Amino acid sequence: MDGQVLYLIIGVLIGAGVIYFLVKKKDETPVDNSVNVLSTQLSDLMERFVKVEEATKTMSLTQTSIDGAFKNFQHILTDRQERGAFSERELEKLLQDRLPAKYLKFQETLSNNKRVDCLIDFGEKDHKIGIDSKFVLDNFIKLREAQTEDEIKKYEKMFEDDVMKNVKKIADDYIIAGETTPHAIMFIRSESVYRTIQDSKNNLIEKALEKNVLIVSPSLLWGLLNTLRMFLRDSELSKKTHEIIKEISAIGKDIGRLAERTEDVEKKFNAVAEQFRGIKISTDKIQSRAEKIQELETTAQEKIGDRK
């Protein structure tokens, strides 16, 4: 259809060129010059329309691609399984972006054989938080499309019932005494769905908290994870500080033992030195006596010599 319109426009322009040529001829403009001008103008127009046609084809392909992507997204929203997988992937990306991998366990099976989308595990008993994603979209769409007051009330109640059923399931499945924290998190992928929950006249957020379930949107979870990330960083620094203090204490004890052993060696060394001093004194005395004996022998020999 677009090609037909393009060729129609080209035909009109060619016709206009012919009319222009005839008018010029009547005005006694030289024929050769008019033909050259007309030919140049028509050539330029043809080049421009070729470019327009190429751009039109490109736009058509882009539109086809967009339509295909939109249909795929519609399929995700209408298919519960696809919708759930999409929400889980978004939750996983958000968690991996904000928290270290060592704290995250995806699709973790708990002791009650229930599998949670993600378990944030801090490595200690009772320090595990379950997070499960829920879309709650079917009756939300019907609520948005409702026209009459009766329809609004009907689908509003059905939507709120869906929310609280999911809250109850999370509380029953992912809060286990002695294994997890006494709280769990319900992740709502859509900000608009979360706002509808938040604006509920029946205080759905508060009712969920009464069951120890915190309902969060992507933006709220992002802020919560940032706070948790800072806490974990401070906690790790605190643990490292305690380890350093412990090592310093151990080094102090080693230094104390080294001082004791040095003192023992010093005592032994002093004892040996004292013995060496005693030996030297005895040696000096022996030498002194030997010298005296030698002097006596010399004196005796001299006296014997004088008598002779």
Stronger pLDDT, 100 or 245, i.e. the higher one? 100
Place of tokens 């059923």: 165
Count CA atoms closer than 13 A to 253's CA, side-chain side: 6
What CATH architecture is 77-216? Answer: 3-Layer(aba) Sandwich (3.40)
| Average pLDDT score over residue span 127-138 | 88
Question: For residue 75, what pLDDT is reported?
Answer: 44
pLDDT in tens, 219-264: 999 988 988 888 787 766 555 545 544 554 565 566 566 667 766 7
| Average pLDDT score over residue span 60-67 | 55
Stronger pLDDT, 242 or 130, i.e. the higher one? 130
Is residue 75 within 8 Å of residue 81, measured between CB atoms? no
Is residue 214 within 8 Å of residue 208, measured between CB atoms? yes
Domain boundaries, the chain: 2-60, 77-216
pLDDT in tens, 5-50: 555 555 555 555 555 555 555 454 454 555 565 566 666 666 766 6
| Average pLDDT score over residue span 105-120 | 94
Stronger pLDDT, 114 or 277, i.e. the higher one? 114
| Average pLDDT score over residue span 135-162 | 91
pLDDT band at 70 (very low <50, low <70, confident <90, very high): very low
Question: For residue 14, what pLDDT is reported?
Answer: 59
Question: For residue 73, what pLDDT is reported?
Answer: 43
- Per-residue pLDDT for 270 more than 90? no
Question: For residue 4, what pLDDT is reported?
Answer: 54
- Per-residue pLDDT for 194 more than 90? yes
- Lowest-pLDDT range of 101-105, 134-138, 243-247: 243-247
Report the DSSP beta bridge partners of residue 149: none
Strand order in the sheet with 184-188: 104-109, 115-121, 128-134, 184-188, 213-216
Neighbours of 38 (CB within 10 A): 16
pLDDT band at 196 (very low <50, low <70, confident <90, very high): very high
- Lowest-pLDDT range of 165-179, 228-242, 284-298: 228-242
- Lowest-pLDDT range of 152-166, 232-246, 266-280, 293-307: 232-246
